[in-house]
A = this chain, B = another copy of it.
């Protein structure tokens, strides 16, 4: 069997000009980055602003398990299927972070015959967007420490600096550090820490900003910490919003590549789906929507995290109107939610499958709560038995859920035609009437409670005394109107990662609340949330190399 990289290398990529033609995009707006990647100038938006909006399709999934769901693969595959059916279609994905690529994942560009290409370039540096965000984030840190060093006119309290440095790597040794050591010429010693770049507020901002002006205003609103009198200190106070905007000038332009079957793919931005909102950029989604009739996009982790935030944060902010949600599940993962060990997933197990379907059921209820129709996509694995598939189909019939078996990993677009047809028909026949789950006018506490109860199925929400105090302060500071961005384990509907399936009677604990004012939300942390992953004992990097033809080895 061919690896993803081998399949990707066999692909005869179309010149980027042809991909632009596919979009009816004037080639002058294309800014080529290497042979097979391009950025698109935002100036195009003036030209196409009167185009009708394409139909926005959100791909989400059940709670992820080590068994794998293949959400990116289905996203790419579905777009290819729709193209095969003759539709005008594009897909919008997030950019892979180098950390996971070098760590466990080895790549994040779909899989099999449903990949975006050139996968090795997308996985490594791509067009440099994440590096630009790293530079902007760390330039801000340098400006903060320099401001204190040079006299600290703003009276920044070095014990209350909340802005952290970042690297786009998995590097646990940087989680907690002390900087500024070495005496009077080196700065002021203080505690600090590094996040992975995709967890930076700047990444979230880049993904939510509408245009350069909005980008700058959002950057200026970032709270970097507090003064000795406990007042918020912002980027604007430091007078570096312009410089940060300039550093992000190129990174803010959407990137265009293609899928293995030549579907235009906008890959832009990649915020974490725990402490950020986990969706690709608003500018890319809007551009795609003005250029094709259908836009297939995805959001991080399961529907309880990525889809919730796509709908409550991204779609609300950007006035997007999602027409349908595709919920991806695999029989393997459903069995795992039903209590089967990873080692036994290849054995038929109908009772476990039935039990695991409760997880899927909860996510369908969530999407219904947003008033958006959905289709269930069963992403096929070879070990799935006929009886298991029949059980699942029957379950869907019983609930009157639309469902389609897909095999886009092995067959590319050909493997997702049923799904594509179901999606197109549903959009045509069932009018979505999307509305966010909560109004921004409600209190922060109320917003959190609505998400926890409606989306997670929690019985109750508990706030730590710290969180209560923070919510109170944030509200007094005039930030009560912001959205809430929940940071929760992706493995469970609850805040306890070992509770698979559909946990009941549980309470969600809000431990801490942090303002991401530039992004426009309050991050609400439940349990420990990792914002800097570590490397495994045998990182994927150990297998990476270049071959004699200067090709990549070891990405998958």
Contacts and interface: CB of A to CB of B under 8 A. Distances in A.
Interface string A122-135: 00110110011011
A187 to B, nearest CB: 4
A546 B34 contact: no
A181 B194 CA distance: 12
Given A172-B145, A175-B182, A554 B242 contact: yes
A541 B187 contact: no
Contacts of A121: 250
Interface string A531-545: 000110101011111
Contact of A246 (B42, B124, B180, B182): B124
Interface in A100-149: 102, 121, 124-125, 127-128, 131-132, 134-135, 138-139, 141-143, 145-146, 149
A535 B150 CA distance: 9
A384 interface: no
Contacts of A188: 173
A34 B135 CA distance: 19
A240 interface: yes
A554 B240 CA distance: 12
A80 interface: no
Number of copies of chain A assembled together: 2
A169 interface: yes
A323 interface: no
Given A35-B31, A131-B131, A145 B171 contact: yes
A507 interface: no
Contacts of A181: 175-178
A167 interface: yes
A92 interface: no
A395 interface: no
A542 B35 CA distance: 36
Interface residues of A, number: 74
A542 B240 contact: yes
Interface centre among A135, A170, A188, A554 (most CB of B within 10 A): A135
Given A121-B250, A550-B42, A245 B545 contact: yes
A149 B538 CA distance: 12
Contacts of A212: 546, 550
A6 to B, nearest CB: 16
A474 interface: no
A433 interface: no
Interface string A182-204: 10011110000000000000000
B179 A142 contact: no
Nearest to A102: B139
A389 to B, nearest CB: 40
A216 B550 CA distance: 12
A175 to B, nearest CB: 5
A218 to B, nearest CB: 14
B534 A149 contact: yes
A44 interface: no
A441 to B, nearest CB: 34
A100 to B, nearest CB: 12
Contact of A146 (B39, B167, B216, B534): B534
Interface string A34-51: 110001001100000000
A394 interface: no
A459 interface: no
B172 A149 contact: yes
A342 interface: no
Given A178-B181, A246-B545, A534-B149, A170 B142 contact: yes
Contacts of A42: 550
What 3 A-B pairs come out closest when comparing CB atoms?
A242-B545, A131-B131, A176-B182
Given A177-B180, A246-B544, 15 more contacts: A33-B33, A43-B550, A125-B128, A125-B135, A128-B131, A131-B131, A131-B132, A134-B134, A141-B171, A143-B535, A176-B181, A242-B546, A245-B546, A246-B553, A249-B550
15 contacts: A31-B35, A34-B250, A102-B139, A121-B250, A131-B132, A142-B170, A146-B173, A173-B186, A176-B181, A177-B180, A178-B181, A242-B545, A246-B545, A246-B553, A249-B546
